[in-house]
Amino acid sequence: MFTHETRKRVRYGETDRMGLLYYGNYAQYYEIGRVEMIRSLGLTYKDIEDKLGVLMPVVTLYSRFIKPAYYDEDLRIKTTISEFPVRTIVFHTEILRANGELINKGEVKLVFVTAENFKRVDTPVEIRNKLKPWFEKVD
Amino acid sequence: MFTHETRKRVRYGETDRMGLLYYGNYAQYYEIGRVEMIRSLGLTYKDIEDKLGVLMPVVTLYSRFIKPAYYDEDLRIKTTISEFPVRTIVFHTEILRANGELINKGEVKLVFVTAENFKRVDTPVEIRNKLKPWFEKVD
Amino acid sequence: MFTHETRKRVRYGETDRMGLLYYGNYAQYYEIGRVEMIRSLGLTYKDIEDKLGVLMPVVTLYSRFIKPAYYDEDLRIKTTISEFPVRTIVFHTEILRANGELINKGEVKLVFVTAENFKRVDTPVEIRNKLKPWFEKVD
Amino acid sequence: MFTHETRKRVRYGETDRMGLLYYGNYAQYYEIGRVEMIRSLGLTYKDIEDKLGVLMPVVTLYSRFIKPAYYDEDLRIKTTISEFPVRTIVFHTEILRANGELINKGEVKLVFVTAENFKRVDTPVEIRNKLKPWFEKVD
Protein backbone atom coordinates (compact mmCIF):
# COMPACT_ATOMS: atom_id res chain seq x y z
CA MET A 1 0.00 0.00 0.00
CA PHE A 2 1.25 3.46 -0.81
CA THR A 3 -0.30 6.65 0.55
CA HIS A 4 0.40 10.29 -0.17
CA GLU A 5 -1.15 13.54 0.94
CA THR A 6 -1.29 16.99 -0.59
CA ARG A 7 -3.47 20.04 -0.05
CA LYS A 8 -5.66 22.23 -2.21
CA ARG A 9 -7.75 25.26 -1.44
CA VAL A 10 -11.31 25.61 -2.77
CA ARG A 11 -11.28 28.49 -5.24
CA TYR A 12 -14.11 30.89 -6.03
CA GLY A 13 -14.37 29.68 -9.60
CA GLU A 14 -14.78 26.12 -8.33
CA THR A 15 -17.81 26.90 -6.20
CA ASP A 16 -21.32 26.98 -7.56
CA ARG A 17 -24.54 28.76 -6.78
CA MET A 18 -25.00 26.63 -3.62
CA GLY A 19 -21.76 28.21 -2.37
CA LEU A 20 -20.06 24.79 -2.37
CA LEU A 21 -17.38 23.07 -4.39
CA TYR A 22 -19.20 21.97 -7.58
CA TYR A 23 -19.54 18.19 -7.82
CA GLY A 24 -17.85 18.16 -11.22
CA ASN A 25 -14.69 19.70 -9.83
CA TYR A 26 -13.74 16.85 -7.52
CA ALA A 27 -12.25 14.95 -10.45
CA GLN A 28 -9.63 17.72 -10.69
CA TYR A 29 -8.82 17.18 -7.01
CA TYR A 30 -8.36 13.47 -7.61
CA GLU A 31 -6.06 14.32 -10.52
CA ILE A 32 -3.98 16.59 -8.30
CA GLY A 33 -3.78 13.83 -5.71
CA ARG A 34 -2.50 11.17 -8.10
CA VAL A 35 -0.12 13.48 -9.98
CA GLU A 36 1.49 14.65 -6.74
CA MET A 37 1.64 11.07 -5.48
CA ILE A 38 3.52 10.03 -8.61
CA ARG A 39 5.83 13.02 -8.22
CA SER A 40 6.57 11.93 -4.65
CA LEU A 41 7.84 8.63 -6.08
CA GLY A 42 10.41 10.48 -8.17
CA LEU A 43 8.51 10.24 -11.44
CA THR A 44 6.20 12.70 -13.15
CA TYR A 45 3.00 12.10 -15.04
CA LYS A 46 4.44 14.41 -17.70
CA ASP A 47 7.54 12.25 -18.13
CA ILE A 48 5.40 9.11 -18.31
CA GLU A 49 3.68 10.73 -21.29
CA ASP A 50 6.61 12.51 -22.88
CA LYS A 51 9.51 10.16 -22.18
CA LEU A 52 7.87 6.74 -21.85
CA GLY A 53 5.29 7.51 -24.54
CA VAL A 54 2.51 6.14 -22.36
CA LEU A 55 -0.83 7.83 -21.70
CA MET A 56 -3.13 7.01 -18.80
CA PRO A 57 -6.79 7.38 -19.73
CA VAL A 58 -9.37 7.02 -16.98
CA VAL A 59 -11.75 4.07 -17.41
CA THR A 60 -13.95 4.43 -14.33
CA LEU A 61 -14.60 7.14 -11.80
CA TYR A 62 -16.59 6.76 -8.61
CA SER A 63 -17.30 9.53 -6.12
CA ARG A 64 -19.18 9.61 -2.87
CA PHE A 65 -20.07 13.06 -1.60
CA ILE A 66 -20.33 12.87 2.17
CA LYS A 67 -20.18 16.49 3.33
CA PRO A 68 -20.05 19.73 1.38
CA ALA A 69 -16.75 21.54 0.78
CA TYR A 70 -16.93 25.28 1.34
CA TYR A 71 -15.26 28.17 -0.42
CA ASP A 72 -11.67 28.83 0.69
CA GLU A 73 -11.31 25.61 2.69
CA ASP A 74 -7.79 24.23 2.63
CA LEU A 75 -8.60 20.60 1.90
CA ARG A 76 -6.40 17.56 2.37
CA ILE A 77 -6.24 15.18 -0.59
CA LYS A 78 -5.14 11.74 0.56
CA THR A 79 -4.36 9.30 -2.23
CA THR A 80 -3.79 5.60 -1.82
CA ILE A 81 -2.80 2.75 -4.11
CA SER A 82 -3.82 -0.41 -2.33
CA GLU A 83 -3.15 -2.98 -5.04
CA PHE A 84 0.06 -3.31 -7.00
CA PRO A 85 -0.79 -2.19 -10.56
CA VAL A 86 -0.37 -4.65 -13.40
CA ARG A 87 -2.99 -4.15 -16.13
CA THR A 88 -4.75 -1.23 -14.44
CA ILE A 89 -3.98 1.21 -11.66
CA VAL A 90 -6.55 2.29 -9.08
CA PHE A 91 -6.20 5.45 -7.02
CA HIS A 92 -8.36 5.80 -3.92
CA THR A 93 -8.78 9.37 -2.79
CA GLU A 94 -10.10 10.72 0.46
CA ILE A 95 -10.77 14.42 0.74
CA LEU A 96 -10.72 15.73 4.28
CA ARG A 97 -11.10 19.07 5.96
CA ALA A 98 -8.09 20.48 7.76
CA ASN A 99 -9.57 19.08 11.00
CA GLY A 100 -9.64 15.55 9.59
CA GLU A 101 -13.35 15.30 8.79
CA LEU A 102 -13.88 13.09 5.73
CA ILE A 103 -16.00 14.85 3.11
CA ASN A 104 -15.51 12.85 -0.08
CA LYS A 105 -14.24 9.50 -1.28
CA GLY A 106 -13.15 8.84 -4.82
CA GLU A 107 -11.91 5.87 -6.79
CA VAL A 108 -10.34 6.30 -10.20
CA LYS A 109 -9.19 3.42 -12.38
CA LEU A 110 -6.80 4.12 -15.23
CA VAL A 111 -5.19 2.01 -17.91
CA PHE A 112 -1.98 2.47 -19.84
CA VAL A 113 -1.95 3.00 -23.60
CA THR A 114 0.76 3.93 -26.05
CA ALA A 115 0.74 7.59 -27.08
CA GLU A 116 1.42 6.42 -30.62
CA ASN A 117 -1.69 4.37 -31.28
CA PHE A 118 -3.66 4.06 -28.01
CA LYS A 119 -2.89 0.32 -27.70
CA ARG A 120 -3.28 -1.12 -24.18
CA VAL A 121 -0.03 -1.93 -22.41
CA ASP A 122 0.88 -3.10 -18.91
CA THR A 123 2.03 -0.73 -16.19
CA PRO A 124 5.42 0.58 -17.34
CA VAL A 125 8.35 -1.00 -15.51
CA GLU A 126 9.51 2.46 -14.42
CA ILE A 127 6.31 2.85 -12.38
CA ARG A 128 6.42 -0.72 -11.05
CA ASN A 129 9.96 -0.29 -9.83
CA LYS A 130 9.07 2.82 -7.89
CA LEU A 131 6.05 1.16 -6.28
CA LYS A 132 7.58 -2.25 -5.51
CA PRO A 133 9.11 -1.32 -2.17
CA TRP A 134 5.62 -0.40 -0.90
CA PHE A 135 4.00 -3.73 -1.66
CA GLU A 136 4.88 -6.99 0.01
CA LYS A 137 5.43 -10.22 -1.88
CA VAL A 138 5.60 -8.52 -5.25
CA ASP A 139 8.42 -9.77 -7.42
CA MET B 1 -39.21 5.03 -17.09
CA PHE B 2 -38.60 8.45 -18.48
CA THR B 3 -35.97 9.24 -21.12
CA HIS B 4 -34.81 12.49 -22.64
CA GLU B 5 -32.11 13.46 -25.10
CA THR B 6 -30.19 16.65 -25.72
CA ARG B 7 -26.96 17.52 -27.51
CA LYS B 8 -23.72 19.23 -26.62
CA ARG B 9 -20.62 19.97 -28.60
CA VAL B 10 -17.15 19.30 -27.18
CA ARG B 11 -15.48 22.69 -26.72
CA TYR B 12 -11.77 23.50 -26.96
CA GLY B 13 -11.56 24.49 -23.34
CA GLU B 14 -13.04 21.11 -22.36
CA THR B 15 -10.35 19.11 -24.11
CA ASP B 16 -7.02 18.31 -22.52
CA ARG B 17 -3.49 17.64 -23.65
CA MET B 18 -4.54 14.22 -25.02
CA GLY B 19 -6.85 16.12 -27.39
CA LEU B 20 -9.89 14.51 -25.76
CA LEU B 21 -12.75 15.65 -23.55
CA TYR B 22 -11.18 15.79 -20.07
CA TYR B 23 -12.58 13.11 -17.74
CA GLY B 24 -13.57 15.71 -15.18
CA ASN B 25 -15.85 17.50 -17.62
CA TYR B 26 -18.33 14.66 -18.11
CA ALA B 27 -20.07 15.63 -14.86
CA GLN B 28 -21.06 18.90 -16.59
CA TYR B 29 -22.55 16.87 -19.43
CA TYR B 30 -24.58 14.82 -16.97
CA GLU B 31 -25.77 18.06 -15.37
CA ILE B 32 -26.88 19.38 -18.76
CA GLY B 33 -28.71 16.11 -19.40
CA ARG B 34 -30.69 16.16 -16.17
CA VAL B 35 -31.43 19.89 -16.25
CA GLU B 36 -32.80 19.67 -19.78
CA MET B 37 -34.75 16.54 -18.88
CA ILE B 38 -36.42 18.40 -16.01
CA ARG B 39 -37.14 21.33 -18.32
CA SER B 40 -38.79 18.93 -20.76
CA LEU B 41 -41.21 18.00 -17.96
CA GLY B 42 -42.29 21.59 -17.65
CA LEU B 43 -40.26 22.38 -14.54
CA THR B 44 -36.86 23.98 -14.14
CA TYR B 45 -34.05 23.13 -11.78
CA LYS B 46 -33.85 26.86 -11.08
CA ASP B 47 -37.50 27.00 -9.99
CA ILE B 48 -37.03 23.93 -7.80
CA GLU B 49 -34.33 25.90 -6.00
CA ASP B 50 -35.86 29.37 -6.12
CA LYS B 51 -39.58 28.65 -5.82
CA LEU B 52 -39.75 25.33 -3.98
CA GLY B 53 -36.73 26.17 -1.79
CA VAL B 54 -35.27 22.73 -2.41
CA LEU B 55 -31.65 22.02 -3.39
CA MET B 56 -30.46 18.80 -4.99
CA PRO B 57 -26.93 17.92 -3.89
CA VAL B 58 -25.24 14.96 -5.57
CA VAL B 59 -24.44 12.06 -3.25
CA THR B 60 -22.81 9.61 -5.64
CA LEU B 61 -21.37 9.82 -9.13
CA TYR B 62 -20.27 6.90 -11.24
CA SER B 63 -18.75 7.14 -14.72
CA ARG B 64 -17.54 4.55 -17.16
CA PHE B 65 -15.37 5.88 -19.97
CA ILE B 66 -15.78 3.55 -22.93
CA LYS B 67 -14.43 5.51 -25.90
CA PRO B 68 -12.78 8.92 -26.10
CA ALA B 69 -14.75 12.02 -27.07
CA TYR B 70 -12.95 14.25 -29.54
CA TYR B 71 -12.85 18.01 -29.93
CA ASP B 72 -15.86 19.49 -31.73
CA GLU B 73 -17.94 16.31 -31.66
CA ASP B 74 -21.66 17.00 -31.39
CA LEU B 75 -22.50 14.49 -28.67
CA ARG B 76 -25.89 13.10 -27.72
CA ILE B 77 -26.69 13.13 -24.01
CA LYS B 78 -29.38 10.60 -23.24
CA THR B 79 -30.76 10.77 -19.70
CA THR B 80 -33.03 8.22 -18.10
CA ILE B 81 -34.88 7.94 -14.79
CA SER B 82 -35.70 4.27 -14.37
CA GLU B 83 -37.05 4.28 -10.83
CA PHE B 84 -39.72 6.58 -9.53
CA PRO B 85 -37.94 8.92 -7.07
CA VAL B 86 -39.00 8.94 -3.45
CA ARG B 87 -36.09 9.60 -1.10
CA THR B 88 -33.45 9.91 -3.82
CA ILE B 89 -33.43 10.45 -7.54
CA VAL B 90 -31.06 8.62 -9.89
CA PHE B 91 -30.22 9.87 -13.38
CA HIS B 92 -28.63 7.42 -15.80
CA THR B 93 -26.78 9.10 -18.63
CA GLU B 94 -25.50 7.67 -21.85
CA ILE B 95 -23.26 9.79 -24.01
CA LEU B 96 -23.23 8.79 -27.65
CA ARG B 97 -21.61 10.03 -30.81
CA ALA B 98 -23.87 11.42 -33.51
CA ASN B 99 -23.68 7.99 -35.19
CA GLY B 100 -25.03 6.26 -32.07
CA GLU B 101 -21.79 4.83 -30.74
CA LEU B 102 -21.87 4.71 -26.94
CA ILE B 103 -18.83 6.40 -25.44
CA ASN B 104 -19.69 6.99 -21.79
CA LYS B 105 -22.16 5.87 -19.14
CA GLY B 106 -22.90 7.84 -16.01
CA GLU B 107 -25.04 7.42 -12.94
CA VAL B 108 -25.72 10.30 -10.60
CA LYS B 109 -27.73 10.02 -7.41
CA LEU B 110 -29.09 13.16 -5.80
CA VAL B 111 -31.06 13.89 -2.67
CA PHE B 112 -33.38 16.74 -1.83
CA VAL B 113 -32.60 19.18 0.98
CA THR B 114 -34.19 22.41 2.08
CA ALA B 115 -32.34 25.52 0.92
CA GLU B 116 -32.95 26.95 4.36
CA ASN B 117 -31.06 24.47 6.51
CA PHE B 118 -29.96 21.56 4.30
CA LYS B 119 -32.39 19.12 5.96
CA ARG B 120 -33.23 16.00 3.92
CA VAL B 121 -36.73 15.93 2.44
CA ASP B 122 -38.58 13.63 0.05
CA THR B 123 -38.91 14.31 -3.65
CA PRO B 124 -41.12 17.41 -3.93
CA VAL B 125 -44.67 16.64 -5.00
CA GLU B 126 -44.27 19.00 -7.98
CA ILE B 127 -41.59 16.68 -9.39
CA ARG B 128 -43.53 13.51 -8.54
CA ASN B 129 -46.62 14.75 -10.29
CA LYS B 130 -44.70 15.45 -13.48
CA LEU B 131 -43.05 12.03 -13.44
CA LYS B 132 -46.05 9.94 -12.43
CA PRO B 133 -47.46 9.42 -15.91
CA TRP B 134 -44.18 7.79 -16.93
CA PHE B 135 -44.18 5.15 -14.22
CA GLU B 136 -46.72 2.36 -13.85
CA LYS B 137 -48.38 1.46 -10.59
CA VAL B 138 -47.22 4.60 -8.84
CA ASP B 139 -49.89 6.32 -6.82
CA MET C 1 -18.01 43.28 -41.37
CA PHE C 2 -19.27 39.84 -40.54
CA THR C 3 -21.63 39.07 -37.66
CA HIS C 4 -22.95 35.81 -36.28
CA GLU C 5 -25.13 34.85 -33.34
CA THR C 6 -25.47 31.70 -31.29
CA ARG C 7 -26.94 30.89 -27.88
CA LYS C 8 -25.69 29.28 -24.70
CA ARG C 9 -27.35 28.58 -21.42
CA VAL C 10 -25.62 29.36 -18.11
CA ARG C 11 -24.93 26.02 -16.42
CA TYR C 12 -24.81 25.31 -12.68
CA GLY C 13 -21.14 24.41 -12.81
CA GLU C 14 -20.40 27.76 -14.45
CA THR C 15 -21.92 29.80 -11.63
CA ASP C 16 -20.05 30.72 -8.51
CA ARG C 17 -20.84 31.44 -4.90
CA MET C 18 -22.39 34.82 -5.89
CA GLY C 19 -24.93 32.80 -7.91
CA LEU C 20 -23.64 34.37 -11.13
CA LEU C 21 -21.69 33.21 -14.16
CA TYR C 22 -18.06 33.19 -12.93
CA TYR C 23 -15.94 35.88 -14.62
CA GLY C 24 -13.42 33.31 -15.78
CA ASN C 25 -16.04 31.41 -17.76
CA TYR C 26 -16.82 34.17 -20.26
CA ALA C 27 -13.74 33.23 -22.28
CA GLN C 28 -15.46 29.90 -23.02
CA TYR C 29 -18.49 31.82 -24.28
CA TYR C 30 -16.28 33.89 -26.58
CA GLU C 31 -14.72 30.64 -27.84
CA ILE C 32 -18.16 29.22 -28.60
CA GLY C 33 -19.05 32.42 -30.44
CA ARG C 34 -16.03 32.41 -32.72
CA VAL C 35 -16.08 28.66 -33.36
CA GLU C 36 -19.74 28.76 -34.38
CA MET C 37 -19.11 31.86 -36.50
CA ILE C 38 -16.36 30.03 -38.38
CA ARG C 39 -18.65 27.02 -38.81
CA SER C 40 -21.30 29.31 -40.28
CA LEU C 41 -18.77 30.25 -42.97
CA GLY C 42 -18.47 26.62 -44.02
CA LEU C 43 -15.15 25.99 -42.26
CA THR C 44 -14.40 24.47 -38.87
CA TYR C 45 -11.80 25.45 -36.32
CA LYS C 46 -10.98 21.74 -36.11
CA ASP C 47 -10.23 21.54 -39.83
CA ILE C 48 -8.09 24.67 -39.63
CA GLU C 49 -5.99 22.81 -37.10
CA ASP C 50 -6.16 19.30 -38.53
CA LYS C 51 -6.23 19.93 -42.27
CA LEU C 52 -4.49 23.29 -42.70
CA GLY C 53 -2.02 22.59 -39.88
CA VAL C 54 -2.59 26.04 -38.42
CA LEU C 55 -3.24 26.82 -34.76
CA MET C 56 -4.79 30.03 -33.49
CA PRO C 57 -3.39 31.04 -30.10
CA VAL C 58 -4.98 33.98 -28.33
CA VAL C 59 -2.68 36.96 -27.82
CA THR C 60 -4.97 39.39 -26.04
CA LEU C 61 -8.30 39.15 -24.26
CA TYR C 62 -10.37 42.05 -23.03
CA SER C 63 -13.68 41.76 -21.18
CA ARG C 64 -16.06 44.31 -19.80
CA PHE C 65 -18.62 42.99 -17.34
CA ILE C 66 -21.66 45.23 -17.53
CA LYS C 67 -24.43 43.24 -15.86
CA PRO C 68 -24.39 39.87 -14.11
CA ALA C 69 -25.47 36.69 -15.90
CA TYR C 70 -27.71 34.46 -13.83
CA TYR C 71 -27.99 30.68 -13.61
CA ASP C 72 -30.04 29.09 -16.39
CA GLU C 73 -30.25 32.23 -18.55
CA ASP C 74 -30.30 31.45 -22.25
CA LEU C 75 -27.74 34.00 -23.40
CA ARG C 76 -27.15 35.33 -26.91
CA ILE C 77 -23.52 35.35 -28.04
CA LYS C 78 -23.07 37.84 -30.87
CA THR C 79 -19.69 37.71 -32.57
CA THR C 80 -18.36 40.24 -35.05
CA ILE C 81 -15.25 40.54 -37.20
CA SER C 82 -15.01 44.21 -38.14
CA GLU C 83 -11.62 44.24 -39.82
CA PHE C 84 -10.51 41.90 -42.56
CA PRO C 85 -7.85 39.66 -40.97
CA VAL C 86 -4.32 39.69 -42.37
CA ARG C 87 -1.69 39.17 -39.68
CA THR C 88 -4.16 38.88 -36.79
CA ILE C 89 -7.84 38.24 -36.40
CA VAL C 90 -10.01 40.08 -33.86
CA PHE C 91 -13.37 38.77 -32.66
CA HIS C 92 -15.69 41.20 -30.91
CA THR C 93 -18.28 39.50 -28.76
CA GLU C 94 -21.40 40.89 -27.20
CA ILE C 95 -23.29 38.78 -24.71
CA LEU C 96 -26.93 39.69 -24.36
CA ARG C 97 -29.90 38.42 -22.42
CA ALA C 98 -32.76 36.90 -24.38
CA ASN C 99 -34.50 40.31 -24.12
CA GLY C 100 -31.57 42.08 -25.79
CA GLU C 101 -29.98 43.64 -22.73
CA LEU C 102 -26.19 43.83 -23.18
CA ILE C 103 -24.38 42.25 -20.26
CA ASN C 104 -20.80 41.73 -21.45
CA LYS C 105 -18.44 42.84 -24.19
CA GLY C 106 -15.34 40.92 -25.16
CA GLU C 107 -12.50 41.37 -27.61
CA VAL C 108 -10.16 38.52 -28.44
CA LYS C 109 -7.18 38.84 -30.75
CA LEU C 110 -5.63 35.69 -32.18
CA VAL C 111 -2.68 34.98 -34.43
CA PHE C 112 -1.98 32.10 -36.75
CA VAL C 113 0.95 29.74 -36.19
CA THR C 114 1.98 26.50 -37.80
CA ALA C 115 1.08 23.41 -35.79
CA GLU C 116 4.49 22.04 -36.68
CA ASN C 117 6.73 24.63 -35.06
CA PHE C 118 4.55 27.51 -33.82
CA LYS C 119 5.92 29.92 -36.46
CA ARG C 120 3.73 32.97 -37.17
CA VAL C 121 1.93 32.91 -40.51
CA ASP C 122 -0.68 35.12 -42.17
CA THR C 123 -4.37 34.33 -42.13
CA PRO C 124 -4.78 31.16 -44.23
CA VAL C 125 -6.19 31.81 -47.69
CA GLU C 126 -9.06 29.40 -46.95
CA ILE C 127 -10.28 31.75 -44.20
CA ARG C 128 -9.71 34.89 -46.27
CA ASN C 129 -11.69 33.53 -49.16
CA LYS C 130 -14.66 32.81 -46.94
CA LEU C 131 -14.57 36.27 -45.37
CA LYS C 132 -13.89 38.32 -48.52
CA PRO C 133 -17.50 38.70 -49.59
CA TRP C 134 -18.25 40.38 -46.26
CA PHE C 135 -15.63 43.10 -46.57
CA GLU C 136 -15.63 45.84 -49.17
CA LYS C 137 -12.55 46.83 -51.14
CA VAL C 138 -10.58 43.76 -50.13
CA ASP C 139 -8.73 42.14 -52.99
CA MET D 1 2.58 49.74 -4.11
CA PHE D 2 1.98 46.30 -2.69
CA THR D 3 3.25 43.10 -4.30
CA HIS D 4 2.71 39.47 -3.45
CA GLU D 5 3.75 36.20 -5.02
CA THR D 6 2.30 32.72 -4.93
CA ARG D 7 2.70 29.59 -7.08
CA LYS D 8 0.40 27.30 -8.99
CA ARG D 9 1.05 24.25 -11.08
CA VAL D 10 -0.60 23.79 -14.49
CA ARG D 11 -2.99 20.84 -14.16
CA TYR D 12 -3.99 18.35 -16.85
CA GLY D 13 -7.60 19.47 -16.80
CA GLU D 14 -6.46 23.06 -17.39
CA THR D 15 -4.61 22.23 -20.59
CA ASP D 16 -6.28 22.03 -23.96
CA ARG D 17 -5.77 20.20 -27.20
CA MET D 18 -2.73 22.39 -28.00
CA GLY D 19 -1.13 20.92 -24.86
CA LEU D 20 -1.06 24.38 -23.27
CA LEU D 21 -2.86 26.12 -20.43
CA TYR D 22 -6.23 27.10 -21.97
CA TYR D 23 -6.61 30.86 -22.37
CA GLY D 24 -9.83 30.85 -20.37
CA ASN D 25 -8.11 29.43 -17.31
CA TYR D 26 -5.78 32.36 -16.65
CA ALA D 27 -8.61 34.22 -14.94
CA GLN D 28 -8.52 31.52 -12.24
CA TYR D 29 -4.81 32.16 -11.80
CA TYR D 30 -5.45 35.87 -11.36
CA GLU D 31 -8.12 35.02 -8.79
CA ILE D 32 -5.65 32.85 -6.87
CA GLY D 33 -3.12 35.68 -6.99
CA ARG D 34 -5.45 38.31 -5.57
CA VAL D 35 -7.02 36.02 -2.96
CA GLU D 36 -3.62 34.97 -1.62
CA MET D 37 -2.45 38.58 -1.68
CA ILE D 38 -5.41 39.60 0.46
CA ARG D 39 -4.72 36.69 2.80
CA SER D 40 -1.13 37.87 3.16
CA LEU D 41 -2.52 41.18 4.47
CA GLY D 42 -4.30 39.35 7.26
CA LEU D 43 -7.74 39.46 5.68
CA THR D 44 -9.60 36.88 3.61
CA TYR D 45 -11.80 37.36 0.60
CA LYS D 46 -14.26 35.03 2.32
CA ASP D 47 -14.45 37.26 5.40
CA ILE D 48 -14.91 40.34 3.22
CA GLU D 49 -17.98 38.60 1.82
CA ASP D 50 -19.24 36.87 4.94
CA LYS D 51 -18.33 39.31 7.70
CA LEU D 52 -18.24 42.69 5.96
CA GLY D 53 -21.14 41.78 3.66
CA VAL D 54 -19.27 43.14 0.66
CA LEU D 55 -18.89 41.38 -2.69
CA MET D 56 -16.23 42.21 -5.26
CA PRO D 57 -17.52 41.72 -8.80
CA VAL D 58 -15.03 42.08 -11.64
CA VAL D 59 -15.77 44.94 -14.03
CA THR D 60 -12.90 44.61 -16.50
CA LEU D 61 -10.38 41.94 -17.33
CA TYR D 62 -7.41 42.35 -19.62
CA SER D 63 -4.93 39.61 -20.50
CA ARG D 64 -1.86 39.56 -22.67
CA PHE D 65 -0.60 36.11 -23.61
CA ILE D 66 3.14 36.39 -24.23
CA LYS D 67 4.40 32.81 -24.11
CA PRO D 68 2.55 29.52 -23.72
CA ALA D 69 2.32 27.77 -20.34
CA TYR D 70 2.95 24.05 -20.48
CA TYR D 71 1.43 21.17 -18.59
CA ASP D 72 2.89 20.63 -15.11
CA GLU D 73 4.82 23.91 -15.01
CA ASP D 74 5.08 25.36 -11.52
CA LEU D 75 4.17 28.95 -12.34
CA ARG D 76 4.78 32.07 -10.28
CA ILE D 77 1.78 34.38 -9.89
CA LYS D 78 2.96 37.88 -8.99
CA THR D 79 0.17 40.26 -8.02
CA THR D 80 0.55 44.00 -7.56
CA ILE D 81 -1.72 46.81 -6.42
CA SER D 82 -0.11 50.00 -7.67
CA GLU D 83 -2.82 52.49 -6.82
CA PHE D 84 -4.46 52.86 -3.46
CA PRO D 85 -8.06 51.66 -3.94
CA VAL D 86 -10.91 54.08 -3.33
CA ARG D 87 -13.87 53.44 -5.63
CA THR D 88 -12.28 50.52 -7.49
CA ILE D 89 -9.38 48.16 -6.92
CA VAL D 90 -7.02 47.06 -9.70
CA PHE D 91 -4.87 43.96 -9.46
CA HIS D 92 -1.97 43.62 -11.90
CA THR D 93 -0.80 40.07 -12.35
CA GLU D 94 2.34 38.76 -13.94
CA ILE D 95 2.66 35.06 -14.54
CA LEU D 96 6.21 33.84 -14.80
CA ARG D 97 7.95 30.53 -15.27
CA ALA D 98 10.06 29.23 -12.41
CA ASN D 99 13.11 30.67 -14.23
CA GLY D 100 11.59 34.17 -14.24
CA GLU D 101 10.44 34.30 -17.86
CA LEU D 102 7.30 36.43 -18.15
CA ILE D 103 4.54 34.55 -19.96
CA ASN D 104 1.35 36.47 -19.22
CA LYS D 105 0.19 39.84 -17.93
CA GLY D 106 -3.25 40.44 -16.51
CA GLU D 107 -5.17 43.39 -15.16
CA VAL D 108 -8.41 42.93 -13.28
CA LYS D 109 -10.52 45.79 -11.99
CA LEU D 110 -13.12 45.09 -9.31
CA VAL D 111 -15.68 47.18 -7.52
CA PHE D 112 -17.28 46.75 -4.12
CA VAL D 113 -21.00 46.14 -3.72
CA THR D 114 -23.16 45.23 -0.77
CA ALA D 115 -24.10 41.55 -0.62
CA GLU D 116 -27.58 42.66 0.37
CA ASN D 117 -28.59 44.60 -2.70
CA PHE D 118 -25.55 44.94 -4.98
CA LYS D 119 -25.24 48.71 -4.32
CA ARG D 120 -21.82 50.21 -5.09
CA VAL D 121 -19.77 51.16 -2.05
CA ASP D 122 -16.22 52.42 -1.52
CA THR D 123 -13.35 50.15 -0.57
CA PRO D 124 -14.13 48.91 2.95
CA VAL D 125 -12.09 50.60 5.64
CA GLU D 126 -10.80 47.19 6.78
CA ILE D 127 -9.06 46.78 3.41
CA ARG D 128 -7.82 50.36 3.30
CA ASN D 129 -6.27 50.07 6.72
CA LYS D 130 -4.33 46.98 5.72
CA LEU D 131 -3.05 48.60 2.54
CA LYS D 132 -2.25 52.07 3.88
CA PRO D 133 1.26 51.26 5.11
CA TRP D 134 2.20 50.28 1.54
CA PHE D 135 1.20 53.55 -0.08
CA GLU D 136 2.80 56.86 0.55
CA LYS D 137 0.87 60.05 1.17
CA VAL D 138 -2.44 58.29 1.65
CA ASP D 139 -4.41 59.55 4.56
pTM surpassing 0.80?
yes
The answer to whether position D63 is within a domain reads yes
Cite the active site residues of A.
16
- For B102, the domain range is 2-134
The answer to whether position C106 is within a domain reads yes
CA D98 to chain centre: 19
User: Which tens digits make up the pLDDT trace of A81-139?
Assistant: 999 999 999 999 999 999 999 999 999 999 999 999 999 999 999 999 999 999 976 45
The answer to whether position C93 is within a domain reads yes
The answer to whether position B22 is within a domain reads yes
Whether residue B71 lies within 8 A of chain C, CB to CB, comes out as yes
The answer to whether position C21 is within a domain reads yes
Who contacts B122 (Cβ-Cβ below 8 Å, separation ≥6)? B86, B87, B112
Burial class of residue C100 (count of CB atoms within 10 Å of its CB; 0-12, 13-18, 19+): exposed
Rounded Cα distance, A12 and B55, in Å: 20
**The pLDDT value given to residue C136:** 75
Rounded Cα distance, B94 and B29, in Å: 10
Beta carbons of A12 and D71 less than 8 Å apart: no
The answer to whether position D139 is within a domain reads no
User: Which tens digits make up the pLDDT trace of C1-15?
Assistant: 999 999 999 999 999
Give percent above pLDDT 70 in chain A: 98
Tell me how close the Cα of A24 comes to any Cα of chain C, in angstroms.
7
The answer to whether position C139 is within a domain reads no
Beta carbons of A28 and D11 less than 8 Å apart: yes
User: Which tens digits make up the pLDDT trace of B6-42?
Assistant: 999 999 999 999 999 999 999 999 999 999 999 999 9
The domain total for chain C is 1
Share the mean pLDDT of chain B: 96
Question: Which of A27, A31, A72 comes nearest D44 by C-beta?
Answer: A72
Tens digits of pLDDT across chain C (139 residues)? 999 999 999 999 999 999 999 999 999 999 999 999 999 999 999 999 999 999 999 999 999 999 999 999 999 999 999 999 999 999 999 999 999 999 999 999 999 999 999 999 999 999 999 999 999 764 5
Strand duo A102-114 + A120-121: pairing: antiparallel
- The CATH number assigned to the domain holding C123 equals 3.10.129.10
**The pLDDT value given to residue D137:** 65
ipTM: 0.94
The answer to whether position B39 is within a domain reads yes
Rounded Cα distance, C24 and C35, in Å: 18
Give percent above pLDDT 90 in chain B: 97
Q: Residue C52 has what DSSP assignment?
A: S
User: Which tens digits make up the pLDDT trace of D19-66?
Assistant: 999 999 999 999 999 999 999 999 999 999 999 999 999 999 999 999
